[in-house]
Structure formats: C-alpha cells, structure tokens
Amino acid sequence: MNNSISKVLVAITFLLSFTACNAQIKNEKTESVKIYGNCEKCESTIEKAGNIKKQSSVDWNKDTKMATISYDSLKISKQEILKRIALAGYDSDAFLAPDDTYSSLPECCQYERAKKTIFATNESVVNMEITDHSAHNMPMESKAVNQMTSIYDNYFALKDALVKTDKKSASTNATNLLTAINSVKMDQLSNEVHMVWMKVLEPLKKETQAIADGKDIETQRNHLNALSKEIYTLLEVSKTETPTFYQFCPMANGGKGANWLSKEEAIKNPYYGSQMLGCGKTVETIKE
C-alpha cells in the first residue's frame, strides 16, 4: 500500500513540475514528434537535452516513442530542439544522431535505428533533414556562412587590437564579438555547422567575455589562444570566402606556444605586439 502511494506521489510531483515548467513558456506552441529510444534512461537523456528553462519542455513516452514538445516559438524552433536531442544520441524522423554519439549510449539505450537519408562530411556521417531536398540545402549553407562572417570579422578586429597593444579597443571588439555570438540563429545553421557550434558555443562565450572584462592587456592576451582554437574549429566547417591563416608563436603561453588566426599571411604577433611583431609562422592555410 505504501509503495503504491509513493508511486502516485512521484507521478503527481512529476506532473506538477512539468505543468510549472510549461507555465513559464511564453508564446507557447506544442507539437508531437516521434523520437526513438528504449527505456527510462533514454527518457531522462531526451528530456534533459530538449528542456531549456523558459524556452522549451519535452515529455517523452518510452512506450509510444512519442514526445510532446512545448516551446516559445519566438525564441527557439522545433528543429533546434530536435537537433539538440539528436546530438545527445537520439534519432527523430527529422534528424539522425551522429553515429559515434549513438554508439556511446549505454547498451540498454541503443534502440533499433530506422533507415534514413544521410550524407557524409569530411569527418563523419551526419544526418540530413528528411523534409529537405538538395535544392534547398544551399540557402541554409549560405545563411550559416553569413552568420559566421560577423563572428570572424569581430575576431579579426579583436586580434588586430592585441597586435597594437590596444586594451580598450580589444575590450570593445570582444564585446562586439560576444554580441555576434549571441545573435546566431541556430535553426538556420546547416547540420554540420550546428553540431560544431553546439560544442564551441560555451567556450567561445567564456573566452570572449574574459577578454572583454580583462583589466590589462596581458590578461586579454592570455585568453586569445583558447578563443583562437574554438574559432579555428568553427572555420574548419564554415570557411570564409578568402583564405585564413592559422599561425603559431612558440614563445607565447609561457613557452608552450600559442595560435591565432589572421586574414594576412604576414606575421603580426598579437601576443607580443611591437616587442616581437614578426615572431611566429603560418602552420595552416584554411581555404574553401
């Protein structure tokens, strides 16, 4: 009897929390979507991936494989939520999870995968929106590149400010870069760019904010290396129209070496400025 009461209380608590979560979502739109999975662990992972405070709430049923998705239609799209869930390892009828992510799921969670249309990238096999046709892919790619252009331009301006040892300008350009990062509409990114974006987003914001808040030029320079690595990762899947040069100084970062990106092949070291302007070399040229 006590066990039954306990189960009822747990169910009531869950329903109340789900209702409370939904109550916080403005401009709410609710849709039902099939998401593949097996068990309670799948349920926890799917809902955690799709739940965003005040933006979206996901309730998944392991028996029917159906998810009820409630979301603020002015802040996030159903496609973005399903991409987040796919990145956590779970297929839907719109997006496939990356193979390596699916393979890393616990054995009990490795559901039978439905056959879907897929395309290959240089690094892995990534899913395609099933409703898309190849003729519609180009505008999506173009939108992704356009959004990234603002990020790259602000990064280069920030790097150039550090070359000039201009702390104030570096802080201003870092603030502009942070605005560009926060302005990216993830539902307009191609699948390949979106997957990388989800991985680099938080480190990008963290390092950019640290430079914007840096009290001195050395503090700002100390965060450039980590920021440059994230920008480099992004550039690999969303290249600029003109070549970008990935450059390296062996003396920076306490003798461990540090990288930066430049639109110019000529070395202009942002870690030392005029003290050692030409110290470094180009280690890679990134082209379309």
Contact 57, 23 (CB under 8 A): no
Q: What is the mean pLDDT of residues 258-273?
A: 96
Q: Which of 159, 157, 158 is nearest to 270 (CA)?
A: 159
10-19, 77-86, 113-122: segment of lowest average pLDDT: 113-122
pLDDT computed for residue 124 by the predictor: 36
Contact 75, 99 (CB under 8 A): no
Q: Are strands 244-249 and 118-120 parallel, antiparallel or unpaired?
A: unpaired
Kindly report, residue by residue over 160-203, the tens digit of the pLDDT: 999 999 999 999 999 999 999 999 988 788 878 888 898 899 99
Kindly report, residue by residue over 16-33, the tens digit of the pLDDT: 554 444 457 888 999 999
Backbone angles phi, psi at 207, to 5 degrees: -70, -40
Residue with tokens 């897929």: 118
What span, in angstroms and rounded, lies between the C-alpha atoms of 225 and 271? 9
- Specify whether the backbone of 248 is left (phi greater than 0), alpha (psi in -120 to 50) or beta: beta
pLDDT more than 70, % of the chain: 81
Tokens of 257: 């070496």
- Above 90 in pLDDT, residue 266? yes
SS3 227: helix
Contact 22, 70 (CB under 8 A): yes
